[in-house]
Structure 1
Amino acid sequence: MGELPLDINIQEPRWDQSTFLGRARHFFTVTDPRNLLLSGAQLEASRNIVQNYRAGVVTPGLTEDQLWRAKYVYDSAFHPDTGEKVVLIGRMSAQVPMNMTITGCMLTFYRKTPTVVFWQWVNQSFNAIVNYSNRSGDAPITVGQLGTAYVSATTGAVATALGLKSLTKHLPPLVGRFVPFAAVAAANCINIPLMRQRELQVGIPVTDEQGQRLGHSVATAKQGIFQVVISRICMAIPAMAIPPVIMDTLEKKDFLKRRPWLGAPLQVGLVGFCLVFATPLCCALFPQRRLSWDVLMSGFPSWPPVTCQPARLQDFLA
């Protein structure tokens, strides 16, 4: 077997991102929770493989599958712009276990006001950590922007949850179980535009096929933010809509009536099962990079094609 060639483009995902299936395979790999179990030595080994390959040095005996595995392990733990190791709970691979715990608790402890406020606060605090840990090097998040988005999203989520909770007091219990979902959806509508407000002002970079920047597009930034909000709301639907229906049925059975302590872990498990599939599949709804037709129509040359990145990975998952 010959030495691995140096022309494999590990700057881009392994699979075709113009298709839903290719994007789904990419995001299933990016969000794989098993990467959290890797030791520091394994992470460093993957980083060395990737950095050496980019520098034109192939690790002896390295196969293409091993190279791609190292690339995804590296991406799962290190910041793409700074190269710094991301704090554990801020990594993309931590999204499913962290969100299943937080969402499961939001759905379990939805009856009392103090627990509603606490878990909505925990959720937005986790989002803030993810946003900061995966901040873009091209359009960095300032402390002021992060603080504004955090306070606004937390306030919006809590206000929505408490407002709807008071309105559903006299409705069937099942209706009240959907209050956390409404609060999360409201927070997403607030958080993402605030986190990417700079892009709404100056636009996002537009490049040619060689990656050379041609300018910026505000219109594409607006579209990207809209797509991220839709994706994140869709991502929450299975995890926050299916378990409440199941739990409402199970809690009427003698099994859970005799074992009420099983309610929380069962709900967390149901949420986790939904998120394992919903997270990558909803991230794959829209391409992260696409042709920018609005830019083509506004003065840039029509050939070669221009592309932009309207939706960023960290925004899908925060």
Structure 2
Amino acid sequence: MSRDVRTDINLKEPRWDQGAFMGRAKHFFMVTDPRNVLLSSEALDEARTILENYKHGKVRPGLTEDELWRAKYIYDSAFHPDTGEKMLLVGRMSAQVPMNMTITGCMLTFYRTTPAVIFWQWANQSFNAIVNYTNRSGDAPLTVGQLGTAYASATTGAVVTALGLKSLTKHLPSLIARFVPFAAVAAANCINIPLMRQRELKFGIPVTDINGNRLGESPKAAQQAIFQVVVSRIGMAIPAMAIPPVIMNALEKRAFLKRFPLLSAPIQVGLVGLSLVFATPLCCALFPQKSSMKVSHLEPELQTLIQAHDPGIDVVYFNKGL
């Protein structure tokens, strides 16, 4: 049973242990909860007020710990962590499931014609660009040029991959052709994310000690962070883009869908949505949000700087991004 809230809760950290996969999974199930998209502006502002009052020692009578944590996750789902500004609705992490299920479901349904391939790959990369811009780091903001380059490169890469593989699968079983959208999305992620975070690869990302004290910037930490994000993003796509094609390939051979072919798209979108509800938070949880790296693996000059600051530091920490 919930009890009155304590006054010493650290709201800068997630509610659950991030050193364990299950703790990270619980955290990301809350972060990506699609129900938060339906919250009104009043509900979002109320959550912000609860958190601001708590930070200043003002606790509403009867407020429980569960309600406080719920307010934190509502706030985190809608407001930028660096600027505090309300984020674009479609770019929020809570919009990932409904947006991706629609776009991915249509990509998997309308994969047979060239115009459909081009349109849905473009739609997917346009959505990715909005997500990456909305969740950009306030410490290293994206320029319009960087955003445009990443958007154009990822879209081109996805379309070229999709059309190239589509031409190669003309004489192969129909099931093989259904996996072309996944290959295109995987290729686009490998292009889009590094380009979107190219400034981090060049100048590095902040690394800290275990207490959060900033020690410097490391491009090698950025490389590890971006690799982990790419793996997570591709992992999210695997269940949503690999399981539904197998099911749909079997269903379309049955009399029901032959009789009602217009139901193919909504069924496929529903299957993708069901997969994404679980795949999105579980794949976000593959790696800790607060990732780590041994000091010995950093750049020599940064190692020297850290050793001069505190010779006892063996490991540094950094935010890997999403």
Name the TM-score class by shorter chain.
Answer: over 0.9
What is the CA-CA distance between 1:212 and the residue it aligns to?
A: 1.6
Matched residue, 2:108: 107
1:200 and 2:201 matched: yes
The structure-2 alpha-carbon separation of the partners of 1:296 and 1:118, relative to structure 1 and needing over 3 Å to count, comes to closer
Letter of the aligned partner of 2:64 in structure 1?
Answer: T
Matched residue, 2:128: 127
Q: Determine the C-alpha separation between the residues in 2 that align with 1:213 and 1:309.
A: 9
Contact 1:181–1:237 (8 Å) recurs in 2 = yes
Q: Determine the C-alpha separation between the residues in 1 that align with 2:56 and 2:126.
A: 38
What is the CA-CA distance between 1:203 and the residue it aligns to?
A: 1.2
Matches within 5 A, 1:1-318: 4-294=5-295, 298-299=303-304, 300=306, 301-304=310-313, 306-313=315-322
| Secondary structure, counterpart of 2:165 in structure 1 | helix
The structure-2 alpha-carbon separation of the partners of 1:303 and 1:42, relative to structure 1 and needing over 3 Å to count, comes to same
Q: Which runs of 5+ in 1 are unaligned?
A: 314-318
Letter of the aligned partner of 2:276 in structure 1?
Answer: L
What is the CA-CA distance between 1:5 and the residue it aligns to?
A: 3.3
Q: Determine the C-alpha separation between the residues in 2 that align with 1:308 and 1:140.
A: 21
- TM-score, structure 1 normalization: 0.95
| Secondary structure, counterpart of 1:209 in structure 2 | coil
Aligned residue pairs, count: 313
Greater CA drift, 216-225 or 253-262: 216-225
The structure-2 alpha-carbon separation of the partners of 1:296 and 1:283, relative to structure 1 and needing over 3 Å to count, comes to same
Matched residue, 1:316: none
- TM-score, structure 2 normalization: 0.93
Q: Determine the C-alpha separation between the residues in 2 that align with 1:2 and 1:27.
A: 24
| Secondary structure, counterpart of 1:205 in structure 2 | strand
CA distances 1:164-210 after superposition (whole Å, capped 9, x unpaired)? 11111111111110000000000000011111111111111111233
| Secondary structure, counterpart of 1:215 in structure 2 | strand
Q: Deviating runs (4+, > 3 A) in structure 1? A: 1-5, 294-297, 304-307
What is the CA-CA distance between 1:218 and the residue it aligns to?
A: 1.5
Contact 1:223–1:310 (8 Å) recurs in 2 = no
Q: Which runs of 5+ in 2 are unaligned?
A: none
Letter of the aligned partner of 1:312 in structure 2?
Answer: G
Q: Determine the C-alpha separation between the residues in 2 that align with 1:159 and 1:14.
A: 43
What is the CA-CA distance between 1:86 and the residue it aligns to?
A: 1.0
| Secondary structure, counterpart of 1:10 in structure 2 | coil
**Percentage of matched positions with identical amino acids:** 72
Give RMSD over aligned pairs: 1.6
What is the CA-CA distance between 1:126 and the residue it aligns to?
A: 0.5
Contact 1:220–1:294 (8 Å) recurs in 2 = no
| Secondary structure, counterpart of 2:215 in structure 1 | strand
What is the CA-CA distance between 1:99 and the residue it aligns to?
A: 0.2
Greater CA drift, 48-57 or 36-45: 48-57
| Secondary structure, counterpart of 1:229 in structure 2 | helix
The structure-2 alpha-carbon separation of the partners of 1:55 and 1:307, relative to structure 1 and needing over 3 Å to count, comes to farther
Q: Determine the C-alpha separation between the residues in 2 that align with 1:119 and 1:214.
A: 43
The structure-2 alpha-carbon separation of the partners of 1:309 and 1:251, relative to structure 1 and needing over 3 Å to count, comes to same
Letter of the aligned partner of 2:119 in structure 1?
Answer: F
What is the CA-CA distance between 1:276 and the residue it aligns to?
A: 0.5
Greater CA drift, 225-234 or 210-219: 210-219
Q: Determine the C-alpha separation between the residues in 2 that align with 1:82 and 1:153.
A: 27
The structure-2 alpha-carbon separation of the partners of 1:72 and 1:170, relative to structure 1 and needing over 3 Å to count, comes to same
Contact 1:156–1:190 (8 Å) recurs in 2 = yes
Contact 2:4–2:65 (8 Å) recurs in 1 = no
Contact 1:108–1:264 (8 Å) recurs in 2 = yes
Letter of the aligned partner of 1:136 in structure 2?
Answer: S
Contact 2:294–2:314 (8 Å) recurs in 1 = no
